[in-house]
Amino acid sequence: MDVVNAKSLIGTWTLLTRVEVTSDGRRRIDPLLGADPIAYLIYDAAGHFAVQFMRRNRETADGASGYDAYFGRYQLGADGMVTQTIIGALSQGDVGKVVTRRCHIDGIELVIKVETTASDGQPVTRTLRWQRAM
């Protein structure tokens, strides 16, 4: 595993897996996005980021159901920690949040871990594995 640096982080990434684990070690499925969502994550050289997630095989006509998106500015620490300031989001409650994520490169994958609260309020550790978009 390698620490993320600016050169390795910048670009467009596609989601491979998004796994949530509860504090007692149980894997759970996010009720909003399902077990296998699709997503893009973009980091640019000027310090902007954007991410969009969608439930695979969405079957609802409701525009926001099964979808999440947010964007803003980021700073990369020397330790591979990425701090994101959310400027805009599908969920109004996320606007203005500042979140820090642990990141590393595992082979050709970007791995992001975050201690967070799931959409139903349960505390979880979320691990996202990304690959560069081709």
**Domain residue ranges in the chain:** 2-132
β-partners of residue 74 are 84
Architecture per CATH, domain 2-132, reads as Beta Barrel (2.40)
| Mean local confidence (pLDDT), 29-40 | 91
How high is the pLDDT of residue 62?
A: 59
pLDDT above 80: residue 97: yes
- Give the mean pLDDT of the chain: 91
